[in-house]
Amino acid sequence: MEVIKTKNLTFQYRNNPKSILNDISLDIYEGDFILLCGPSGCGKTTLLKHLKHLIAPVGDLSGDIFFNGVNIKEVPERSLVSEIGFVFQNPENQIVCDKPFEEMAFGLENLGLPSNEIRRRVAEMASFFGIEKYFEKDIHTLSGGQKQLLNLASIMVMQPSVLLLDEPTSMLDPVATGEFFSILNKINKELGLTVIICEHQLEAIYPIVDKVCYMENGRVAAFDNPNNVAKKIIVSGSNMTYALPTPTRIFTELTRDYIAEMDPMSIPLNVRDGRICLKYYVEKNEIGPERLVKPGADLESLKRKDEDTALKAEGIYFRYKKASPDILKNISFRTYRSEIFSILGGNGVGKTTLLSILSGINKPYRGKVKSLMTDSRKKIAYLPQNPEIMFVKDSIREDLEFLAETNDLPVSIIEETVNKYDFFANVPEFFDSNPLDLSGGEKQKMAFLKLMLLDPEIILLDEPTKGLDAFSKKNLADILNTLTGKGISVVMVTHDLEFAARHSDRCALMFNGEIVSVDIPERFFSNNHFYTTATSKVTKRILENTITVDDVRELMYI
């Protein structure tokens, strides 16, 4: 029997003329592991919230949802609470308590479990997710990723039978993401939990799910096994192609001309299958050894001159409180004009803290940050990890106009900027919305638009690709490249290794408050084992120096 069944679900928010869900009918069976994907703003969050009836958004709804065969409106609250677990998109706002252990116990207390049972479950789950380290810390001192893990743990501890996850790994580092997905996989396979997960970052999750539900404009465009959906997406040539896992995309590149006739099951989704296909391709086409090595970058030509320095950090030390340990230790580096500098590293190593120092928000207690731009007006723009706090007014239009006004810019600049870049293509649609009504990805876009209007010389971005669909990411990269072409320096913190590999000029790895290595992406990623791109994993020992799909394409099609 279906655990969850939706029948012709149609939904519209009251203050939004657009219909957000259109005629959605899904059958979800017990033990299914389902990926919900689609472009930003297609209604994933909205759909997911309807499935956990208690938090369904307010608006005009038609159609029905059944939970274990019963209309969800008639299911008692207690079983909705204990049976369906929901993890929200924004990790900050769903926290109710002060301390991680209280937070984890919250649901269990409400369900009325005996206290020793609560303690046992909390202890088990905390050690499972590695939360012991900050079990009794104040929650507000945790990093974004740590909060997200805690949220997952506080849902898992309630042992639900259906798990709904809204971009649960958007702020986790790649290692933690991988671990998290393998935990999910284990929970699904061993305990038979039904899991529905929304994601933009499909790399790691796509190969392990049973079914993919691909949404577009509030409709289900495809609901099938991953291979069929992958083929459908590839054949349709939609923008979603960019989101598919790297092995699939490499395979698509290799079989471009005849993929339409291929059996969907032969499309590789994971690294192992991708390697097999690549090897087979190389052998079958008798590609000579000279075409297997991408020529290394010319390091000499990449050397930058001192006068091109944009930001210079010298021996920075920082701590939040006098009595607390150092978060940043002896950090020194430079960024140059026309360069995208990416900072990578695990959760809680201090990346956000470092950006806050570069932007001048926090002051180091030792060391200095120098900005060596010619224009003496300080022009550093900063995109915080949580972009909500960038909006001042009640509508996007007013907000943008206000920004122009406060910074003595002509209002026409808004239209110019929006029209100049593809990234902002659908932005005018939202001009009259309240910034706080936008979906996660849309907020991110608007916040970035605000930065662009300021015409900065240095841009600091904290996880800019979080919540963006693959196509928007590509457009974002285009903007960044245009900007660096104009001599602007971009520093970004990201967990998106593919994005960093593809678009940055240099990458830095942070560990425990220190920068442990800085290098060009090619060398940076081919030297790492875990902190490396999927392409590099697929091509290891077959091709050399290839870290992005583009690299592979270049090599294979000379």
Partner 1 sequence: MSRYSNFFGDYHPVVVFIYYMSIFVLLITITHPAFLLVSLFVLLLYSLLLDGIKSLLKSLVYMIPMVLFIAVINPFFNHYGETPLFYMNNRPVTLEALLFGVFTGVLIIGLIFLFKSFSRCIDSHRFIYLFGKILPTISLMITMVMRFMPYLKRKLSAISQTQATLGVSVNEGRIKKRLQSGANILSILISVSLEGTIDTADSMKARGYQLKGKTHYNTFVYTSRDFVLLVSTVILDIFFAIVVIRGSYAFEFYPRLTEVSFNSITILILVVNCLFMGLPIIVNIVEEVRWKLSRRKI
Partner 2 sequence: MSNYILITALIALAICAVFLFAFERKRPSARDILPIVIMCVIASVGRVIFSFLPGIQPVTAIVIIMGVCYGPQTGFVTGALCALISNVFIGHGPWTPWQMLAWGLIGIIGAGIAHFRWGRKTYVLAAYGVLAGFLYSMIMDIWTVSTLASGLTLPIVLSVYGAGLLYNIGHAIGNAVFIVLLYKPLSKKLLRLRSKYGILEKEIK
Ligand X SMILES: Nc1ncnc2c1ncn2[C@@H]1O[C@H](COP(=O)(O)OP(=O)(O)OP(=O)(O)O)[C@@H](O)[C@H]1O
Query: Which one, of 513, 492, 460, lies nearest residue 315 by Cα?
Result: 513
Question: Which parts of 68-154 are beta strand (E)?
Answer: 70-71, 84-87
Q: Is 465 in the site for ligand X (CB under 6 A)?
A: no
Cβ-based burial of 117 (10 A; exposed 0-12, middle 13-18, buried ≥19): exposed
Residues between 305 and 324 with contacts to ligand X, criterion CB under 6 A? 320
Contact code string over 96-135 relative to partner 1, x by CB under 8 A: xxx--xx--xxxxxxxxxxx--xx--x-------------
Minimum CB–partner distance for residue 439 and ligand X (Å): 3
Cα first-last separation, the chain: 53
Nearest by Cα to 448 from 500, 483, 405, 406: 483
Please name the amino acid found at residue 381. Answer: A
| 545: nearest Cα among 530, 531, 524, 515 | 524
Which one, 436 or 558, has the nearer CB to partner 1? 436
**Does residue 65 sit in helix, strand or coil?**
strand
User: Which of partner 2, partner 1, Mg ion, none does residue 352 bind (CB under 5 to 8 Å by kind)?
Assistant: Mg ion
Contacted by 141, from ligand X, Mg ion, partner 1, none: CB < 5 to 8 Å by type:
ligand X
* 103, 139 contact by CB (below 8 A): yes
Binding site for Mg ion (CB under 5 A): 45, 89, 144, 352, 385, 439-440
Query: Interface with partner 2 by CB under 8 A: which residues?
Result: 13-15, 57-58, 394, 434, 437
Q: Is 395 exposed, middle or buried (0-12, 13-18, 19+ CB in 10 A)?
A: middle
Nearest to 331 by CA among 346, 309, 314: 314
439 binds ligand X (CB under 6 A): yes
15 binds, options partner 1, partner 2, Mg ion, none, Cβ within 5 to 8 A by partner type: partner 2
Taking alpha carbons only, the member of 377, 491, 383 closest to residue 443 is: 383
Give the largest Cα separation in the chain, rounded: 70
Partner touching 534 among Mg ion, partner 1, ligand X, none, CB below 5 to 8 Å by kind? none
* Among the listed residues 231, 275, 329, 450, the single contact to partner 1 using CB under 8 A: 450
Closest contact distance (angstroms) between CB of 42 and ligand X is: 5
Query: Counting contacts by CB under 6 A, is residue 42 touching ligand X?
Result: yes
Cβ(103)–Cβ(96) under 8 Å?
Answer: yes
CB 253 within 8 A of CB 277: no
Q: Which is nearer to Mg ion, 45 or 201 (CB)?
A: 45
The DSSP 8-state label assigned to residue 293 in this structure reads B
| Nearest of 379, 403, 410, 558 to residue 483 by alpha carbon | 379
Question: Which of Mg ion, partner 2, ligand X, none does residue 58 bind to, with CB < 5 to 8 Å depending on kind?
Answer: partner 2
CA atoms within 13 A on the CB side of 245: 25
Site string for ligand X, 382-421 (x = CB under 6 A): ----------------------------------------
Query: Residue 176 has which token pair?
Result: 């933690």
Helix (H) or strand (E) run with residue 370 in it: strand 366-371
Instruction: Closer to partner 1 by CB, 226 or 435: give it.
Output: 435
Which token pair is 543?
């091709």
Site for partner 1 in 374-403 (CB under 8 A): 380-382, 384, 386, 388-392, 394, 403
Question: Which of 22, 359, 539, 548 is close enough to bind partner 1 by CB under 8 A?
Answer: 359
Between 43 and 346, whose beta carbon lies closer to partner 2? Answer: 43
Residues that bind ligand X (CB under 6 A): 13, 15-16, 20, 40-46, 57, 89, 141-146, 171, 173, 320, 327, 347-353, 437-442, 467
Residues that bind partner 1 (CB under 8 A): 49, 52, 54-55, 77-78, 81-82, 86, 88, 90, 92-98, 101-102, 105-115, 118-119, 122, 140, 154-155, 158, 356, 359, 361, 380-382, 384, 386, 388-392, 394, 403, 406-407, 436, 450, 454
